[in-house]
Chain A
Amino acid sequence: AQSVTQLGSHVSVSEGALVLLRCNYSSSVPPYLFWYVQYPNQGLQLLLKYTTGATLVKGINGFEAEFKKSETSFHLTKPSAHMSDAAEYFCAVGGTGFQKLVFGTGTRLLVSP
């Protein structure tokens, strides 16, 4: 069985500040890990994914995440927040086979000027 826990339903940062969104996973098989972003009234857009290989993954819009197996974590970071980053962020875990994804409950990122 697989599960995802996102710590903090809301995260508030100032424009230009570091963004850190936390994700911990549980998986009985080597996990594939994903971060998706959802803007209001829109679908999910893939930010980045970890499958195998390098544990530091770079994504779109300046985001990156690091897979830490020992901590079962896949936290999302961005050095400097922009107003346009305000959205809902979802962490998801998948495994082998057809990639049924299990999502966390999401973290809403609020960016203030």
Chain B
Amino acid sequence: GAGVSQSPRYKVAKRGQDVALRCDPISGHVSLFWYQQALGQGPEFLTYFQNEAQLDKSGLPSDRFFAERPEGSVSTLKIQRTQQEDSAVYLCASSLRTRQGTSSGNTIYFGEGSWLTVV
């Protein structure tokens, strides 16, 4: 597709339910990012993939959060046993390529987000 596509756009989950959020990056983009944006806040980094390798997961708030990108394209962010504090917009982003340790300045393109409400 032309842009980063995320699904579902809106999800209401009952507390304790597991959810899975999907991200289709721009075709050919090597780097993929997940961010969490709470209401009234800026996005906060969750995790980063380069192809299928998860190179940084330092932003995942707890072990209930898990992300994967098994074939280096589509990615899924899974949240187990959802809590009310997980309510947020989850943004996926991708960029064409980057190399560790270099300053590439590649543009990062964001999807429209998956809005999660935990009740």
B105 contacts across to A, CB distance below 8 A: 32, 49, 51-52, 99
> Is A46 located at the chain interface by the 8 A CB criterion?
yes
B44 contacts across to A, CB distance below 8 A: 103
A43 contacts across to B, CB distance below 8 A: 4, 91, 110-113
A105 contacts across to B, CB distance below 8 A: 40-42
How many A-B residue pairs lie within 8 Å, measured between CB atoms? 72
Count of interface residues, chain A, beta-carbon cutoff 8 Å: 27
B62 contacts across to A, CB distance below 8 A: none
B45 touches A98 (CB 8 A): no
> Is A45 located at the chain interface by the 8 A CB criterion?
yes
Q: Which of B40, B42, B48 contacts A104 (CB 8 A)?
A: B42
B103 touches A96 (CB 8 A): yes
Known contacts A32-B103, A44-B43; decide if A98 and B56 are in contact (CB<8 Å): yes
> Could you tell me the distance between the alpha carbons of A62 and B101 in the complex, rounded to whole angstroms?
33
> Is A13 located at the chain interface by the 8 A CB criterion?
no
B101 contacts across to A, CB distance below 8 A: 96-97
Known contacts A43-B113, A90-B42, A90-B43; decide if A101 and B103 are in contact (CB<8 Å): no
Task: Give the Cβ gap from A13 to chain B, nearest Cβ, in Å.
Answer: 21
Q: Which of B4, B45, B95, B106 contacts A102 (CB 8 A)?
A: B45
Q: Mark A1-24, 1 if CB is under 8 A from B, else 0.
A: 000100000000000000000000
Given contacts A43-B4, A99-B31, A99-B104, 13 further A-B contacts (CB under 8 A): A43-B91, A43-B112, A51-B105, A52-B103, A52-B105, A90-B43, A95-B103, A96-B103, A98-B98, A100-B45, A105-B40, A105-B41, A106-B40
The contact sample of 20 A-B pairs, CB cut-off 8 A, is A4-B42, A36-B110, A42-B112, A42-B113, A43-B111, A44-B43, A44-B91, A44-B93, A46-B108, A49-B105, A51-B103, A51-B105, A52-B105, A97-B98, A97-B102, A98-B55, A98-B100, A103-B44, A104-B42, A106-B42
**Residues in chain B within 8 A of chain A (CB atoms):** 4, 31, 33, 40-45, 48, 50, 55-56, 91, 93, 95, 98, 100-113
